[in-house]
Amino acid sequence: MEFSYSSKVKELQKKLTDFMEEHIYPNEKVYEQQLNAQESRWSAVPPIMEELKEKAKAEGLWNLFLPESGYGAGLTNLEYAPLCEIMGRSPIGPEVFNCAAPDTGNMEVLERYGTDEHKEKWLKPLLAGEIRSCFSMTEPDVASSDATNIEARIERDGDEYVINGRKWWSSGAGDPRCKIAIVMGKTDFNANRHEQQSMILVPLDTPGVKIERMISVFGYDHAPHGHGEITYENVRVPAENILWGEGKGFAIAQGRLGPGRIHHCMRLIGAAERALELLCKRVQDRIAFGKPLSSQGVIQEWIANSRIEIEQARLLTLKAAYMMDTVGNKEAKTEIAMIKVVAPTMALKVIDRAIQAYGGAGVSNDFPLASMWASSRTLRLADGPDEVHRAQIAKLELKKYQ
């Protein structure tokens, strides 16, 4: 394994870092102010976002994900990892570079399993950053960490499919630019366990699609993106909206969630780096009991442990990315599962230490730490809870001795 960064990656790292310093960090508060100045936090996307996207596009910092595709920037997962990490340092960063969840995972699905028409209609505007998308798999009424439990129905009726079901945690559904959902449901309740499910493209303006409410995360609404509870009632879409074919939903989910998961981990490493940086700056200036906080052994231990844990997580992420590039997403599933457990836990520990070092300021919204912690905590659940990933790792480990 060779993890040193190529000159192309180093150049992009520098460009991205400079862009973050010049345009992203100074505009985090502007974004929030513009959002709050609107009639409703859900009515529009703050204008600063579109301005920043244009700047990023002009600098070639656009669609850096999507390996092995003519639609992407021609980077491998391994090359993308250190870049995604930089974007993940800010909550508004990934969208500026058109590398935000859940669009990247959805675009990978459309690129891999979509027909030419799907690509023309949905992938191209997503790649251009003109529209956004959501992914509707999780349901309130069943334990959705086991995707075979999904109960939404996708039934064929002539040239159409009819969709009925209730979903929640469809991230991004609140965004006024969110035009398309990838919905997972069952086309055949009697088929083999992993062949009952299908995925289908549902334009959000189709009659019968209703966003019932937006769900908050520890009180944060994450507007205008948000997390929607959506009912699909007798929603009719053309039969050609099915992805790959009936019964392929589970297989697509396995493929989709691989890249989506590792992207979250890359961003979490960036968030942890930023938290550590904030911690280190704060403790050198803050004097308690006659000396800087940084001279306290316990705080030095927090700093050292944070650096150790970030490096460990980064190396495992790079290994997972390397495996995805060399043996494919399916073969890399253990590494992806491992990093999906490691990265959120690591980020939470580092951010928590930074919060502690900031004292009361750490839990306020004057600094980004509290919201970083809340978002990172969701990633011990979203895209599969830790326990499910651990169960998979253990299963594969035990298999070696059977």
Ligand X SMILES: Cc1cc2nc3c(=O)[nH]c(=O)nc-3n(C[C@H](O)[C@H](O)[C@H](O)COP(=O)(O)OP(=O)(O)OC[C@H]3O[C@@H](n4cnc5c(N)ncnc54)[C@H](O)[C@@H]3O)c2cc1C
Question: Interface with ligand X by CB under 6 A: which residues?
Answer: 102, 135-138, 143-145, 169-171, 217, 227, 378, 381-385, 387-388, 391
> CA 325, CA 322: separation in Å to the nearest integer?
5
The distance of closest approach from Cβ of residue 11 to ligand X in the complex, given in angstroms and rounded to an integer, is 33
CA dist., res. 359 & res. 287, Å (int): 12
Residue 184's SS3 state is strand
Residue 215: burial class (beta carbons within 10 Å; 0-12, 13-18, 19+) = middle
Q: Which is nearer to ligand X, 291 or 399 (CB)?
A: 399
Query: Which of 256, 349 has the CB closer to ligand X?
Result: 256
Task: Identify which of residues 145 and 206 has a Cβ nearer to ligand X in the complex.
Answer: 145
CA–CA distance, 228 with 376 (Å, rounded to integer): 19
Contact 236, 208 (CB under 8 A): yes
Encoded tokens for 24:
């992203």
Q: Rounded to whole angstroms, what are the CA distances from 104 to 126, 168, 229, 350?
A: 9, 20, 21, 26
In the numeric block, the tokens 């929640």 are attached to: 168
Q: Are 142 and 151 in contact (CB under 8 A)?
A: yes
Residue 240 vs 397, nearer CB to ligand X = 397
Instruction: Name the residue nearer to ligand X (CB basis): 128 or 143.
Output: 143
What's the min distance (Å) between Cβ of 55 and ligand X?
28
Q: What pairs with residue 211 in β-bridges?
A: 230
> Which of 60, 86, 88 is CA-nearest to residue 73?
60
Closer residue to ligand X, CB minimum distance, 93 or 105: 105
CB burial class (10 A; 0-12, 13-18, 19+) of residue 319?
middle
Residue 90 exposed, middle or buried by CB count within 10 Å (0-12, 13-18, 19+): buried
CB of residue 391 vs ligand X: minimum separation in angstroms? 4
Q: How far is the CB of 292 from ligand X (least distance, A)?
A: 37
What ranges make up the beta strands (E) of 221-379? 227-238, 287-288, 291-292
Shorter beta-carbon distance to ligand X: residue 82 or 93: 93
d(CA 59, CA 36): 29
Closer CB to ligand X, residue 363 or residue 381?
381
Closest to ligand X by CB, 88 vs 384, is 384
Measured between alpha carbons, how far is residue 52 from residues 28, 92, 129, 198, 332 in Å? 11, 10, 12, 37, 35
